[in-house]
Structure 1
Amino acid sequence: MAKVLMITGDFVEDYENMVPFQALIAMGHDVSAVCPDKKAGDTISTSIHDFEGDQTYTEKRGHNFVLNADFESVKMSDYDALYLPGGRAPEYLRLNPAVIRLIRQFFEADKPVAAICHGAQLLTAANVIEGKQVSAYPACEPEVNMAGATYVELPMDGAVTDGKLVTAPAWPAHPAMLRQFVALF
């Protein structure tokens, strides 16, 4: 079974954090959820984003999620794959040089990477998607295109794989995204 690193943070999208974390563990994979400046046992706050007919998603406070590993001790070589959830966390995680360095290392090692929703903001900041087919939450389309990738418009329950990269627009895509991600292990 694979050892998967999840880089997450405060106000990550609740479903995009918890569902893949639990599903991958249920499949027998080992998942380490980490956040810069936090340790195993610390919690992060999550947000629930829903599609209720407005021009964009609505946001509500979610659950507290307990991290199970320390960001400071993470080494890419200890992991088989990387998962990047969306929500609000990517907008500030992308400002952390250690996060960007780690993402680049996964791409340089040609290991599977999955990103959902605003997780694409981490990929664009890491400058690792040039020439790739990438989906994300529609509001991320300009960033994806400016990073040299081709934005793939999908239904909210769709996912796309390009090489070792799996991307999806939002949490309704979990079944498709996880199926494609695990196939790369």
Structure 2
Amino acid sequence: MAKILIIAGDFVEDYELMVPFQALLMVGHDVNVVCPDKQSGDTIKTAIHDFEGDQTYTEKPGHLFALNYDFSHARGEDFDALLIPGGRAPEYLRLNDKVIALVQHFAQANKPIAAVCHGAQLLAAAKVIDGKRISAYPACAPEVLLAGASYAEIEVTEAITDGLFVTAPAWPAHPAWLAQFNQLLSDI
């Protein structure tokens, strides 16, 4: 099974962290969640985003999530794949040079990368999606396009794989997104 790194941060989308973490563990992968400036055992706050008919998603307090790996020890060479959940965390995580270097390592090493919702902000900031077809929350489409990718406008329940990238617009796509990611992991 694969050793997977998840890069998260405070106000990561609750479902986009909790569900992949638990589902990937359930199928036998080794899943390690990190956050800059935090260690294993520290917690991060999550936020629950929902689609309730407003012009954008709504946000509610989520849960505390206990990290299980130290960010300071996270080296891309030690992992087989990367997963980037969405929420508000990617908007500030993309300002961290070590986070960007980790994303770039996975892309340059041709290792599977799954990103959902605002997770595409890290892919765009790392400049690793040029020429790819990438989905994300629709508000992130301009960043995807500015990074040289084509924005895949798909249903909120769908996901798309382009090479090593598996992307989706939001958590309702978990069944498709995680299945496609797990398929790439089975090739490791």
CA deviation digits over 1:103-126, x for unaligned, max 9? 000000000000000000000000
Q: Which blocks of at least 5 consecutive residues in structure 2 are unaligned?
A: none
In the other structure, the counterpart of 2:155 is: 155
Measure the CA separation in 2 of the matches of 1:174 and 1:163. 19
CA deviation digits over 1:3-44, x for unaligned, max 9? 000000000000000000000000000000000000000000
In the other structure, the counterpart of 1:19 is: 19
Q: Structure 1 length as normaliser, TM-score?
A: 0.99
Measure the CA separation in 1 of the matches of 2:106 and 2:176. 22
Measure the CA separation in 1 of the matches of 2:156 and 2:14. 16
In the other structure, the counterpart of 1:93 is: 93
Measure the CA separation in 2 of the matches of 1:110 and 1:71. 22
Measure the CA separation in 1 of the matches of 2:3 and 2:175. 19
In the other structure, the counterpart of 1:137 is: 137
Equivalent residues in 2 for 1:1-185, closer than 5 Å: 1-185=1-185
Aligned residue pair count? 185
Measure the CA separation in 1 of the matches of 2:182 and 2:111. 12
CA deviation digits over 1:89-111, x for unaligned, max 9? 00000000000001000000000
Measure the CA separation in 1 of the matches of 2:176 and 2:165. 13
Measure the CA separation in 2 of the matches of 1:69 and 1:132. 30
Large movers: runs of 4+ above 3 Å: none
Return the offset for 1:167: 0.3
Q: Which blocks of at least 5 consecutive residues in structure 1 are unaligned?
A: none
Return the offset for 1:160: 0.3
Letter in 1 for 2:30: D
Q: State, as a whole percentage, how many aligned pairs show the same letter.
A: 68
Letter in 1 for 2:175: P
Measure the CA separation in 1 of the matches of 2:73 and 2:35. 11
CA RMSD of aligned residues (A): 0.4
Q: Structure 2 length as normaliser, TM-score?
A: 0.98
Where 1:82 maps in the other structure, the secondary structure is strand
